[in-house]
Structure 1
Amino acid sequence: MKILTDSYKKRPIRCLEIWEYDKWKMKLYSISCNKEKISKIVVDTTKRITEQDILESKNNSYKLGFSIAHQAREAVFILVNWWIKDNMLRSHIYRSPLHSPEKIINVTSTGESMCIWEIYVLNFERNAWVKHVLQNQSKESISNYLHCQLNDEI
């Protein structure tokens, strides 16, 4: 059995904004292992990668989703997620060196997955989608989903 080398430390998770791009509405989350705020270059890179991904989407999409910008211990991770076909979530995962967050590569096909903090955001968004969209199909459901945001330290 492998012995853990690091103890668990809480990280701030913040919904930084809802931004619109080409009729899409996306929530942007940040996670940082060191401090409250992530760097502007990571935020800008996350938006750029998200915009590229969603424009390439040919799926039956709601044009809604969320991205996660995570400045972790060993690298920067960007996760782009959007809702398709009622109850499906399309996800792409990117990674870059901490010292060069703009040098991002797509690692989705490598099998690299989400960490415990990113999964926490994913679970929150899943629950918000079920509650505000799938179980409540009203005029306000999309707005309610977008304004249901996670801001926590876990």
Structure 2
Amino acid sequence: MIIQPYKTRPIRFLELWQEGEWRIKVYSIAYERLTARAELVEAAKTVAREKLATVPSTLQHYSVGFLGVHDGRTSNFIFVDWWAEENELHHHVYVSPSNDPARLTYMTPTGLAACVWDLRVMAFERKAWVDCVLRNYKSPDLEAYLQQRLNEDV
């Protein structure tokens, strides 16, 4: 088994994206570049838009979440996540070849969840949700949650 040496990757908050009723934090993770390629970010928004449109109206959600755009070494990973039912994270994964960013394939049914860099974003967002919403249960603060943003090299 050949394993590549671990290399840090920059995780950068790109924007707070408004899509209909949804407010989504968009993050970039990139291999050997500062941020994900613009064409991959746009492809990620396309699949996110499609996935968010399928959220059942019966699901109690908060219309907030995050979108990870990971411009990887051999593959690109996209994850679309949102909060629902108080403490549940809905997580959907898409992958494309690194040389064809727009050819995203839905991977959630395969069991693929995240890579080690993606998990850092998820851990940060979990903490932000707990601090701003769950621990603040008398007055959950979605605005404070949306202002919590990760920018670090991991």
1:96 alignment counterpart? 96
How far off is 1:137 after superposition? 4.0
1:9 alignment counterpart? 7
Rounded to whole Å, the distance in 2 between the matches of 1:79 and 1:50 is 8
TM-score by length of 2: 0.94
Percentage identity across aligned positions? Answer: 34
Deviations 1:84-133 (A, max 9, x none): 10000001100011111111110110112211110011000000000001
Rounded to whole Å, the distance in 2 between the matches of 1:52 and 1:139 is 31
Tell me if the contact between 2:25 and 2:66 (Cα under 8 Å) persists in the aligned partners.
yes
**2:48 aligned to 27, 47, 50, which one?**
50
Can you give the 5+ residue segments of structure 2 that lack an aligned partner in the other structure? none
Matches within 5 A, 1:50-129: 50-58=48-56, 59-129=59-129
Rounded to whole Å, the distance in 2 between the matches of 1:8 and 1:62 is 36
Moved over 3 A (4+): 137-140
Rounded to whole Å, the distance in 2 between the matches of 1:71 and 1:144 is 28
Tell me if the contact between 2:134 and 2:140 (Cα under 8 Å) persists in the aligned partners.
no
How many residue pairs get matched?
152
Can you give the 5+ residue segments of structure 1 that lack an aligned partner in the other structure? none
Rounded to whole Å, the distance in 2 between the matches of 1:138 and 1:28 is 28
Letter in structure 2 aligned against 1:130: V
How far off is 1:65 after superposition? 0.3
Deviations 1:45-102 (A, max 9, x none): 1111111111100122111100100011111110000001000000110001111111
Letter in structure 2 aligned against 1:75: S
Q: CA 1:138–1:36 in 2, change beyond 3 Å: closer, same or farther?
A: farther
CA RMSD of aligned residues (A): 1.3
2:37 alignment counterpart? 39
Deviations 1:16-65 (A, max 9, x none): 00011111100000000111021111111111111111110012211110
1:26 alignment counterpart? 24
Letter in structure 2 aligned against 1:116: V
